[in-house]
Amino acid sequence: MKKWGWLATFCLLLAIGCRHAQLPVLPVGGDFALTDFNNQTFHLASLRGKVVLIFFGYTSCPDVCPTTLSKLSSVYKRLGDDASRVKTLYITVDPQRDTPAVLKEDLGSFHVDALGLTGTKAEIDRVVGLYGASYEIVPTPDSEAKYTVAHSTTLYALDAQGRTRILFPYEATVEEIVRGLRTILGSDKLTPLEVLAGTIEQYGVPKDVGNELFRAYTEFLTILGDQKSREDLENLRAVNSRTDTTFQRVREISRAFEKALDLLFFENPKLAPLTRKYGVF
């Protein structure tokens, strides 16, 4: 790899990650009105200025719904101060059993800023249609409940203008949801390590190489924490030889980057063409 090639390559990685942070507006969704768990009329438009998560379910759901709510509890915890900028809407597809009081009691078991919503079947069906969701009542005459509800499991993420930006599948991890929400909240909220994580995931970087990149970059962040270290790094091109500890550590970390990126770009067919295109090697 050319001298400084590791740095150019890393900048390319970050640029790729940032480009992927530009999200399209998806052709699903729209404003609606339902009844919330306080028995008050709720309008989606009242949440303008907040990022909104929407999912459809029902309180008697044995697995998908409680799992999703538990996952979202972890998401809110990971968001830190940004959690106050995100509201979750839990729309029942079982209005016959899910009264406002039942919804409120059920959501009280989870650490999520969530509002339970219900309505008439026609009102709920309209919202289901708007978001391209689905559900089906499945009779179970031999059971105490008498029926279950088969329903879609997508988690819809809306931006502050109420536009649908991301569809998270049920299998989405806490990390993926947090990263997606921070992208919607604003690219300035994405930390460099999260951009790097997104790039590693996007291009299928081998785990050992990804770990090496994380380790090295974390050390860079530490070194860049003081002004003198930043100046040293900025002057690397002009410096032929230095003996201070900071510079020696930067050189050591740069070799770690070089080793990891050599493995990454020579072994990953998706990324190798990009390095040739941008003249990194």
- What is the mean predicted confidence (pLDDT) over 142-154? 90
CA distance 175 to 51: 17
Q: pLDDT digit string (tens) for 12-61?
A: 444 444 444 467 889 999 999 999 999 999 999 999 889 999 999 999 99
The separation between CA 187 and the C-alpha centre of its own chain, rounded to angstroms, equals 12
Q: What is the mean pLDDT of the chain?
A: 77
User: Which of the two residues, 79 and 274, has the higher pLDDT score?
Assistant: 79
Domains of the chain: 5-21+192-277 (no CATH), 33-186 (3.40.30.10)
CA distance 278 to 281: 8
* Residues in contact with 169: Cβ distance below 8 Å, sequence separation at least 6, in sequence order: 153, 154, 155
Asked whether 39 and 53 are in contact (CB, 8 A), the reply is no
Q: What is the mean pLDDT of residues 118-140?
A: 95
The band of 234, judged by pLDDT with boundaries at 50, 70 and 90, is: low
Please give the Cα distance from 159 to 146 (Å, whole number): 39
Higher confidence at residue 116 or residue 231? Answer: 116
The pLDDT-based confidence of 141 (bands split at 50, 70, 90) is: confident
What integer pLDDT is reported at residue 258 of this predicted model? 59
Choose between 121 and 281: higher pLDDT. 121
pLDDT value, residue 84 = 93
**Residue 213 parent element (H or E):** helix 207-223
Which one has a higher pLDDT value, 7 or 167? 167
The DSSP letter of residue 33 is E
Per-residue confidence (pLDDT) for residue 14, from 0 to 100: 46
Query: Of all residues in the chain, what percent carry a pLDDT higher than 90?
Result: 49
